[in-house]
Every structure is written in C-alpha cells, then in structure tokens.
C-alpha cells in the first residue's frame, strides 16, 4: 500500500507552474523533461464569474506499476512505502518504461540519456523533508499527505 500522495488544494492554486520548475531545479534537469504538471479545465461561468479548477499530476506511483516489470536492468523499482523510482546508476536508457507507462510519466533526460521520473523527492523524504514542489509551492497549495488505511 502506498504511504504518500500529493494533494493540491485547487482553491489556493494560482496556476503559476512554480512546482514544475521547483522539481526541475531540485533534480537539476535540463530543458526537456518536466516531471509534474499543473493543468486546468476550460473556464466556465459560475454565478457570473468565469472559473476553473486546477489539477496537479506527477506520477501515480501505481500499486502495480507497468514500468517496473518491463525494466530489463531492475533500475525501475517500487519501495516498501510505495514510491516508484529509477536507480540512475542502473538505468541504461532503453526507454522500455517510457513506452510502458500509459501516462507518459517516465521521461528521457537528454543530458544523461537515462530516464527520470517523479520519486516524491525520496531523498528529501528520507531526510525528514518534504518534496521540492511542496516545500516551495508559491501558495502552499500542494501538500504531501500520509495515507492511512481505514
């Protein structure tokens, strides 16, 4: 069972795309891969005011991920706490996972030729910190939520 999820409070989100850049700079990614995404529905008038809802998407960290079994080198792994991550040391850049994921989550890093994806900044989580997108969210709209079984 996954231990974490990222929750976006759409009321506070201002669609500034900060999270996308916070993620990239923390992982030192070049132009190319963007590991999370802020999007919104087309505007619709609600009591005279054109409104929309924002959505945040990164990796779903599937319970039964497609990307892990297709990885020929075992670089793509799922941790006990549910986080799906790529071991950069082991990845050979075959891009099998890129084809396997229905949502296009794993992406090639043109600088290294290997795959990168959202891993909830597990190095930060392990150090007792929050993911980059959450820590630096412009409006504190993004939260790291610990899931509980009920």
Partner 1 sequence: MKKSVWSMCGMCTVRCPIRVETENDEVTWIEGNPHLLDGALCAKGSAGIALLNDPERPQQPLIRKGGRGAGRWDKVSWDTALDYVAEKLNKIVDRYGPESVMMSCRGGPFVDIVKAFIHGLGSPNFTNHDSACGRNAHHASLSLYGVGRTGFAYDIKKTRHLVLFGRNILASLRVAEVNQVLDMLDSGGRLTYVDVRQTMTGIKANRFFQVRPGTDYALALGMIHEVIREKAYDQEFIDRYVSDFDALVAFVEPYDVDWAARECGIKAERLREFVRELAHDRPRVVFHPGWMVSRYRDSFYASRALHILNVLMGNIEVEGGQIFPKGPADCGVKGLRSFDGQIPKPTARRGDGVGWKYSHFDKGPGLFHLFYDTMVTEDPYPIKGLICVRHDPLSCFPDPAAQKEALDRLDLLVAIDTHYSEFGWYCDVILPESTYLERDSIIATQKGTKPRFICRNQVVAPRYDTRSLSEIIKGLADRVGIGQYFPYNSTAELQAWQLEPTGVKIEDFAEKGFVELSREPIMYDRQNLDGRFKTPSGKIEIISQKLTEAGLPSLKPYESPEKPPKGKFRLVFGRSAVHAHAHTINNPLLHELMPENTLWVNRRAAARMGVKEGDWVEVSSNGMVNTIKAHVTDFIHPEAVYMVHGFGRQVPLQTRSYHAGVGDQKLMKGMLTAMDPAGGGLCLCECMVTVKRSSKNPKRMVEL
Give the residues lining the site for partner 1 (CB under 8 A).
Answer: 11-12, 14-18, 20-22, 24-26, 30-31, 34, 43, 48-52, 135-140
Would you say 44 or 90 has its CB closer to partner 1? 44
How many Cβ atoms sit within 10 Å of the Cβ of residue 89? Answer: 8
Would you say 71 or 137 has its CB closer to partner 1? 137
Q: Residue 38: phi, psi to the nearest 5?
A: -100, 130
* CA separation for the pair 93, 98 (Å, rounded): 10
Would you say 79 or 136 has its CB closer to partner 1? 136
CB of residue 112 vs partner 1: minimum separation in angstroms? 17
CB of residue 64 vs partner 1: minimum separation in angstroms? 33
CB of residue 20 vs partner 1: minimum separation in angstroms? 7
- Tell the burial category of 24 from Cβ atoms under 10 Å away from its Cβ (0-12, 13-18, 19+): buried
CB of residue 31 vs partner 1: minimum separation in angstroms? 5
* CA separation for the pair 50, 31 (Å, rounded): 33
Residues 6+ apart with CB under 8 A from 109: 29, 30, 32, 33, 115, 116
Would you say 50 or 102 has its CB closer to partner 1? 50
């Amino acid at each position: 069972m996954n231990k974490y999820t990222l929750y976006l409070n759409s009321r506070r989100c201002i669609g500034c795309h900060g999270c996308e850049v916070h993620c990239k700079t923390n992982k030192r990614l070049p132009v190319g891969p963007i590991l999370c995404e802020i999007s919104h529905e087309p505007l619709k008038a609600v009591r005279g005011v054109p409104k929309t809802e924002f959505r945040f998407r990164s990796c779903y960290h599937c319970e039964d991920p497609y990307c892990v079994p297709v990885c020929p080198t075992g670089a793509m792994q799922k941790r006990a706490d549910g986080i799906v991550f790529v071991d950069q040391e082991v990845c050979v850049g075959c891009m099998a996972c890129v084809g396997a994921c229905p949502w296009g989550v794993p992406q090639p890093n043109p600088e290294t030729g290997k795959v990168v994806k959202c891993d909830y900044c597990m190095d930060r989580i392990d150090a007792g910190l929050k993911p980059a997108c959450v820590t630096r969210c412009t409006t504190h709209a993004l939260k790291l939520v610990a899931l509980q079984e009920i």
